[in-house]
Structure formats: structure tokens, C-alpha cells
Amino acid sequence: MNHIKASIWDQTLTDVLKEFPKSTYKLNHGDLVVRFFNGSEIYLTGFDDKERIEKNLGREFCMIYFNECSTINYNAVLLSQSSLAQNIPGLKNKVLYDMNPPPPTHWTYKLFIEKLEPKTGEPLKHPDNYKYLLMNPMDNPYLSEDFLETLDALPDRERRRYKFGEFVKPEGAIYDEFNIETHSIPISQLPQMEDFAVGIDNTGNNLAAILIGFAGSNVYILDEYTAYRQSMSEFNATIYYKWAQYSYIAYPDPAAGPLNDLITNASKTDNAVEPGINYIRELIEDKRLFVVLKSDGTVRCPDLIAEIDSYRYDDKGRIIKEDDHLCDSLRYCIYSHAKYGGSIIQRLEA
């Protein structure tokens, strides 16, 4: 909300409105709403406050515009589109998106470039409804020559992204040695699992869970589940319904506090960030970590693969906390299992 207020409300939108007579619109600076003389309205909002989201989802819109959608979770996009229900005769409802291109595993690339449903990998039913337009800085008459020269001086990856609008894998990738070609296994070739565990990121609006299987010294990523704004009891019931057959131990985010009492088979979680990351990096380097492929060759956990590709450090060595909920779940699960280990059946037998 603070970002959209600083960039859109305080700059772009109000600058554009200065070109129109003040009598044709009114600004509500408290709620970030523009109301026009003909009854049209523009609402600005963020995804960081649950009550605000619910308030806006209670309205009906004829157009939704996701600004900088490379930083917006796909679950939030799907939920927001449920409000695209305003019926205005002669007007076709639309959703608009803009962004600086993220890595090619991002949901926007799958949806608009590959014409695939990001969650299932299935071809879109109406692919012609999804259009994209490449707009480079050279096409913008309001940018100065000095700024364009600055873009020319950027390193290769950044120049390709910010000047030419290419989808490129970022520098500083945390799991840089992960490769889907060498770190995947067909479901038909899975060995007999010895333990099962579930890692859960259950703080905030974006909820995520990963089902992991363990066989010998190898780790197998079997399934994923993500939700947006689900209650904790509903979230737990969903993953338990999906995976109860595996008699798993759950490793939830310790920061969730009392909410973890609602998680079935919850156990102590080790949330050591760097040791957990380093342990997973060792598994990747030793080729002991695998994602499972479905019978048609597609990945069972596409959202996690997208997160792994964009999971990175900034130029000061700090983890960039963007769209990393499944990566956090992965770390909770794998590192905690390495320290505490065992399925609930084995623990009961012991």
C-alpha cells in the first residue's frame, strides 16, 4: 500500500489528472480513491492488509490493473479476479498487468508467453484472450538521453531486463546449481519412501506447504499447495486431506506462534536460515535433491520451481524476500527433518 501510494498516487496518477479540469474529479487522499463527474471511480490498494483486501473484494469492478505484477503472488491475482463482475452494457471487462520481466519461470511468462495455466501447466482454454505488449525505454518520449545511457552502462543481465524487456534469470541465485534436467525424476521411478514430512509457511496472507519424501540419503519433492487468505484451520484441513495417507510430520514456521496449534502433527521446526540454505545447497550439489515429474513429463511443483529460480541475494548478500513462501517451506521441512527426522508412524512405534 505504501509503495502504490508513493509511486502511483503521489506521482503518476495525480500528474495525469492535472491535465483535466478539477471540476471533473475528486480525490480522496485517505482511501486513495478518484471519483469522476460521470460516476466512474478508481481505487488504489495493496495486498499487505487483510481487512483492506476483503473490503475491496466486496466491490465489483469492470477493470483490474496489477502494477508491478512480477512481485504479486498468482493466488492473489486469481482471488482478485473474482471481483471482475461489474456488468456495464457495451463494455468488455479486462485485467491489465505491467512489470519489469522476472525470470522465465514466473507465472506471467507461463500465462502470456507460453499460454499455459501456471498452476496446472495445461494449455489455456482461451489463449487468444491473453495478449502482451513489449514497451522498452526507447519507446518512451519522456525519458532523457542521460537515462537511456545509464541503462546502456548496466551489466548484461540488468541491461537485457530493464532496457530490452527480456525474461532473464537474476544474478545472485541462491540455488544456482539447481537444474530441472539433472534434479528431476519421473514418478514411475520413485523409490520406496522411508519418511514423509511437510514444511509449512503459515504466516501472513500467503500460505504454502511442501510434501517431501525421504529415501536413503536422497530427498524427493513430491507435491505443493499454496493458498491466499485462507484461515489456518481451513489451510490445515486442506493439506491434511491431500496428504494424510503419508502420515507426515509437519514443520511449520515458528513465527506463527499459537497458530501452529492448529497444524496436524506439528513438530519443532529449526528456522536457521543460512544453515538451512547451505544444507539444501549441499543436497543440490551432491545430486541428492529431486523434484518429481508427472507421467506426462511436467513438474508436480511448478510454483516451487519458479520460486527457486527467482530466490536470490541482493548485492549486499541479503535474501530478497519476494514470493519465497514455498522456498521457506522447503527449508523448514528439509533442514528440520535432518535434525529431528522420522515420520509419525516411526515415532509412535519407537
DSSP three-state, residue 344 = helix
Residues in contact with 126: Cβ distance below 8 Å, sequence separation at least 6, in sequence order: none
For residue 274, being part of any structural domain is answered with: yes
Pair 286, 263 in one domain: yes
113 contacts 130 by C-beta, under 8 angstroms: no
Task: Give 89's pLDDT tier (boundaries 50, 70, 90).
Answer: very high
Range of the domain at 158: 140-167
Percent of the chain past pLDDT 70, that is, above it, reads 96
For residue 175, being part of any structural domain is answered with: no
- Per-residue pLDDT, 36: 95
- CATH for 342: 3.30.420.280
Count structural domains, the chain.
Answer: 3
CA distances from 296 to 105, 187, 220, 293 (A): 19, 10, 18, 8
- Say if residue 341's pLDDT is above 80: no
Pair 144, 133 in one domain: no
Instruction: Report the pLDDT averaged over residues 73-98.
Output: 90
Pair 162, 54 in one domain: no
Pair 109, 158 in one domain: no
- Per-residue pLDDT, 336: 94
- CATH for 37: 3.40.50.300
Pair 252, 291 in one domain: yes
Pair 62, 129 in one domain: yes
Pair 235, 308 in one domain: yes
Alpha helices, DSSP H only, in 175-324?
A: 232-243, 273-285, 302-310
Predicted confidence (pLDDT) per residue in 263-314, tens digit: 999 999 999 999 999 999 999 999 999 999 888 777 889 889 888 887 888 7
The chain-wide mean pLDDT, for the chain, equals 88
- Say if residue 349's pLDDT is above 60: no
- Per-residue pLDDT, 170: 66
